[in-house]
Structure 1
Amino acid sequence: MRLHPIDGGDAAAVRDALPAALDGTRPLALGFDPAPGDVVPDGTAVVIATSGSSGIPKRVVLSAAALRSSAAATAARIGSGQWMLALPAAYIAGVQVLGRSLLAGHEPVLLGGRFTADAFVRATAALRADTHRFTSFVPAQLATLLDAAESRADVRDALTSYRAILVGGQALPPSLRERAEELGAHIVRTYGSSETAGGCVYDGIPLEGVHLAEIDGEVRISGPMLADGYLGDPALTAQVFHTRDDGSRWYRTGDAGTIAPDGRLAITGRIDNVIVSGGINVSLDRVERVVRSIPGLEQAVVVGMRDDRWGEASVIFLATGIGDAEAMFEEARALVAAEIGPHARPAQLEVVPELPTLASGKPDRETLRRMARD
């Protein structure tokens, strides 16, 4: 089948094209212009260019059956209703917001433009009052609304009117979730990727039909919502997706994690997001989780850098106007040393006017690594 390019920055265009994609009759190319020779299997719904937050961008092929299975499993877990889109439509989380609403028989509401508290309140007011309301955020968006809700009743009312607010894309700081729950917002922490048609584990528990395994410290996922593979890259497809002797198909996430006896998943970080400091391996994801537990550092980002003495070290990037940077840095070093070890202490803190982000809303770690190198 031939791909049909859609401007992922035009949420209305994606919404209008999605019904045919969900039928598997008109596959969409989101985030890239397909080459004349790019063809996809029958039943393909979308091919999504990943954000590239952890490496070279890939083009993930998702079938209509995978998207529908994911939407059905989400509805079985949290309910069905009308969704409001506050995320870019070119990424899987945005596609799924639109798809879940359409498959439930409701026209999705598009926030549109820059994400602000005012825009969120207006979009929420456009939702129907006679059905359940849902939306999906990245943590930075939730933080923006919680800050505004401290002084604005209309933001508080809008936040608490949703049956569920999915939060994913990156780790959700516990302090941020606690603030939301104290306000009365119904937060669901999600885990997944483009390769799993979006979130497939909610609050640590896999959705119906999803199976988890931990092999050599890596989390692997099986289920009907898995992608078919990567467009034009059979070698990478074979490396990341594999079929067991029993016929089940599994996705290698590249994430380190553990699965408790009750089936609950805990992600500890990316397997490859590790530096070697003084001959000791240090997980930057683990350091970042500790750093983000400190008030004022909830949105901080930790990346690696060269260090003349230790070989490698970590640096904390923070946006200006958050608080007393020097005091927070010393608290971060002390807490990391206490919880992980002195070898893992960040070497410095860099305050920048604004943290760079990808179009998906995730931190642009590659840009921050280049800034650290410079």
Structure 2
Amino acid sequence: MSTLRLVPGTPDAVLSALAAVLDGSGTPFAPLPDDPAAAARARQAIAPDEPLEEDCAVVLTTSGSTGEPKGVLLSREALIASATATHDRLGGAGQWLLPMKPYFVGGLQILTRSILAGTTPVLAGDDFVTAAAAMTGARRYTAMVPTQLSRYLDTATDALRSFDAIVLGGAPMGPQLKARAADAGVTAIPAYGMTETGSGCVYAGLPLAGTELALDDGRILIKGPTLFSGYRLQPALTKEVLQDGWFRTQDRGRFTDGRLEVIGRLDDVVISGGVNVTLPAVQARLVQHPGVRDAAVLGVPDPEWGSRVVAFVVGEVEPAELRDFVAEALPRTWAPREVVQLAELPMLASGKVDRQRLLDGVR
């Protein structure tokens, strides 16, 4: 078995190690987060001193937004398949701007696409406008999370318009953000995927070439060449989620007019006072309020209700008004029992909401 090499999670270090494994000259590697605490958690998931499983080029750690991080084994073939299918969907290879951390799959795959396209990626750094202006490719792409797009729409609309496509991943693209991007003339494409699928594998509800989708009692199943090889040193978990070539995700979905619509996670339904509450539906309703810029909704263990629905809201709106607003479109029993107003939602380096930090603040 191969040994696993740890590399710093900087763009230059990851780009060099990635180019070597893609051309067959390098050894499997794992990029470490730049935050010391996150790096320590990643080391536990990666277990670099243990023998490495076969069919692995890169080991990435999941962000741990809903639990302990896991080491995800990605093969050279999966990385290439994802990058190739993405370029095919977008209309051809091009130059990419990197506004994301390369030790997460979204950032790593920007570098993979750049290597395969023979182009030099541009680093966004702290000045997105200047970085976008430095792009020289005939076709220009970038990828980011919805929170980034929302902020850039406030400050860098012209720069956003300069891209042929902006791929959005890591979180759902809400209707308000979709409308803002369209009104600004920005080509933003919502993507669904995760580390286990080699980054986004469904664009605007339609699977990339080679990817198959199915539903099992609402659970989203994915098959295709971009899938991961397994979880690092967790054969039982790997066997549980990879069955007959299908990856059994933890997400619920449905098909609408032939397109996949992601409804939420399987654990996003909580029982509060004997009533089943679908948390993503409450969150989607909250962000429709003109005074709400962003929101997250979680179920918090409660001795009286079993779970109480708590809304974390960015915006200055009276809690009673928000509860009434939710009740206008959804059952009143779904309205949040508690509203926590924040200046902004805490985010992980991956761009996902730090759900654990929110929970820790209200328990």
Give the structure-2-normalised TM-score.
Answer: 0.92
1:308 Cα deviation after fit: 5.3
Q: Counterparts of 1:145 and 1:342 in 2: how far apart (Å)? A: 35
Q: Which residue of structure 2 aligns with residue 15 of structure 1?
A: 15
1:358 Cα deviation after fit: 0.8
Is there any run of 5+ residues in structure 2 with no aligned partner, and where? 33-41
CA contact (8 A) 2:4 2:48 kept: no
CA contact (8 A) 2:96 2:140 kept: yes
What are the superposed Cα offsets for residues 193-221 of structure 1, whole Å, 9 maximum, x if unpaired? 00000000000011111100000110000
Residue 46 of structure 1 pairs with residue 58 of structure 2: yes
Determine which of 69, 77, 84 is the counterpart of 1:72.
84
1:39 Cα deviation after fit: 0.9
CA contact (8 A) 1:333 1:345 kept: yes
Q: Counterparts of 2:324 and 2:109 in 1: how far apart (Å)? A: 41
Q: Which residue of structure 2 aligns with residue 246 of structure 1?
A: none
1:307 Cα deviation after fit: 4.2
Residue 145 of structure 1 pairs with residue 152 of structure 2: yes
Q: Counterparts of 1:208 and 1:121 in 2: how far apart (Å)? A: 33
Residue 266 of structure 1 pairs with residue 261 of structure 2: yes
1:296 Cα deviation after fit: 3.6
Q: Which residue of structure 2 aligns with residue 332 of structure 1?
A: 322
CA contact (8 A) 1:85 1:135 kept: yes
- Kindly report which structure 2 residues correspond to 1:28-39, keeping only aligned pairs within 5 A, or say none: 28-31=29-32, 32-33=42-43, 34-39=47-52
Q: Counterparts of 2:283 and 2:149 in 1: how far apart (Å)? A: 19
Q: Provide the aligned C-alpha RMSD in A.
A: 1.6
Determine which of 129, 134, 144 is the counterpart of 1:126.
134
- Kindly report which structure 2 residues correspond to 1:101-116, keeping only aligned pairs within 5 A, or say none: 101-112=114-125, 114=126
1:234 Cα deviation after fit: 0.1
CA contact (8 A) 1:73 1:208 kept: yes
Q: Counterparts of 1:206 and 1:371 in 2: how far apart (Å)? A: 38
Q: Counterparts of 1:106 and 1:137 in 2: how far apart (Å)? A: 19
Determine which of 349, 352, 359 is the counterpart of 1:362.
352
Q: Which residue of structure 2 aligns with residue 351 of structure 1?
A: 341
CA contact (8 A) 2:74 2:227 kept: yes
One-letter amino acid of the counterpart of residue 149, structure 2: L
1:334 Cα deviation after fit: 2.5
Q: Counterparts of 1:332 and 1:193 in 2: how far apart (Å)? A: 32
One-letter amino acid of the counterpart of residue 16, structure 2: D
Q: Counterparts of 2:304 and 2:164 in 1: how far apart (Å)? A: 52
Q: Which residue of structure 1 aligns with residue 36 of structure 2?
A: none
Partner of 1:14, secondary structure, is: helix
Q: Which residue of structure 2 aligns with residue 174 of structure 1?
A: 175
Determine which of 87, 95, 102 is the counterpart of 2:108.
95
Residue 4 of structure 1 pairs with residue 11 of structure 2: no
Q: Counterparts of 2:120 and 2:112 in 1: how far apart (Å)? A: 10
CA contact (8 A) 1:2 1:40 kept: no
CA contact (8 A) 1:167 1:188 kept: yes
CA contact (8 A) 1:290 1:332 kept: no
Determine which of 288, 306, 310 is the counterpart of 1:293.
288
Q: Counterparts of 1:30 and 1:97 in 2: how far apart (Å)? A: 15
CA contact (8 A) 2:6 2:48 kept: no
1:61 Cα deviation after fit: 0.2
Q: Which residue of structure 2 aligns with residue 84 of structure 1?
A: 97
CA contact (8 A) 1:50 1:59 kept: yes
CA contact (8 A) 1:109 1:123 kept: yes
Partner of 1:181, secondary structure, is: helix
1:273 Cα deviation after fit: 2.0
What are the superposed Cα offsets for residues 125-156 of structure 1, whole Å, 9 maximum, x if unpaired? 1110x4110001111101111122xxxxxx22
1:121 Cα deviation after fit: 0.5
335-344 or 199-208: bigger deviation: 335-344
Q: Counterparts of 2:186 and 2:342 in 1: how far apart (Å)? A: 31
Give the structure-1-normalised TM-score.
Answer: 0.89
One-letter amino acid of the counterpart of residue 90, structure 1: Y
1:271 Cα deviation after fit: 0.4
350-359 or 74-83: bigger deviation: 350-359
Residue 304 of structure 1 pairs with residue 299 of structure 2: yes
One-letter amino acid of the counterpart of residue 327, structure 2: A
What are the superposed Cα offsets for residues 237-260 of structure 1, whole Å, 9 maximum, x if unpaired? 0001111xxxxx100111011124
- Kindly report which structure 2 residues correspond to 1:238-257, keeping only aligned pairs within 5 A, or say none: 238-243=239-244, 249-257=245-253
